[in-house]
Amino acid sequence: MPAQEASWSCSACALAWVLRATGLNSSATEQSEINELGYCPTCAAGCGISSSLGLCDASGPALREVYANYGQDTAQAWLDFDTVYELATHTTGQMSGTAFYHWVAIRGVQGETIWVANSAPGYKGIYNNLSRADWQRLGGWSVVWLTD
């Protein structure tokens, strides 16, 4: 995953990664997804992403709207590690922890960890894998995942 260009654009980077990885939009970029999410500087009503807060609603409705625009169904919930680990064995999506304050894409699993695409490798000690201990340290976790 390319490194994010702005300190607040992680959700757009993770969204672009999922869109490219799934073939929903093979040319998705950080900037194109900032535009699709709906940029405004202050997170005003109806805005999806801002330079002051990043994704304006941490539960991810703006992400879900972009996926819906591509005809992709999604679900969202605040989930535990085991549930996301299971989801990661057969689908992708995005997630952010309340103490992590950073969105990553779900790539799959590796061993006992969730394998992620991270646009800021090393942020809060997370590179490409999220362990159960990381989950507990950086959660609760909002997860938006692709459904059939």
Are the C-beta atoms of residues 84 and 143 closer than 8 Å to each other? yes
Of the given ranges (16-30, 31-45, 63-77), which has the lowest mean pLDDT? 31-45
- Percent of the chain at pLDDT exceeding 70: 100
What does pLDDT average to over the chain?
96
* pLDDT for res 41: 85
Q: CA-CA distance, 42 to 127, in Å (whole number)?
A: 29
Residue 29 has pLDDT above 80, yes or no: yes
In a domain, 56, yes or no: yes
Contact 49, 39 (CB under 8 A): yes
Distance CA 63, CA 28 (A): 14
pLDDT of residue 43: 83
70 lies in some domain: yes
Of 3, 19, 31, 18, residue with least CA distance to 127: 3
User: Is residue 77 in a domain?
Assistant: yes
On whether the CB atoms of residues 77 and 32 are closer than 8 A, the answer is no
Q: Does pLDDT of 45 surpass 80?
A: no
For the cut 80, the answer to whether the pLDDT of residue 128 exceeds it is yes
Q: Is residue 130 part of a domain?
A: yes
Using alpha carbons, select from 36, 31, 107 the residue that is nearest to residue 70: 36
Task: Determine, yes or no, domain membership for 102.
Answer: yes
Q: How many domains is the chain built from?
A: 1
Q: Which domain holds residue 129?
A: 10-146
Distance separating the N- and C-terminal Cα atoms of the chain? 25
Residue 128 located in a structural domain: yes
Q: Taking residues 100-118, what's their average pLDDT?
A: 98
pLDDT at residue 116 tops 90:
yes
Average pLDDT over residues 22-36: 98
**Residue 72 amino acid letter:** Q
pLDDT digits (tens, 9 = 90+) for 52-104: 899 999 899 999 999 999 999 999 999 999 999 999 999 999 999 999 999 99
Please check whether residue 4 lies inside any domain of the structure: no
pLDDT of residue 70: 98
Asked if residue 8 has pLDDT above 80, the reply is yes
Residue 42's pLDDT is what?
A: 82
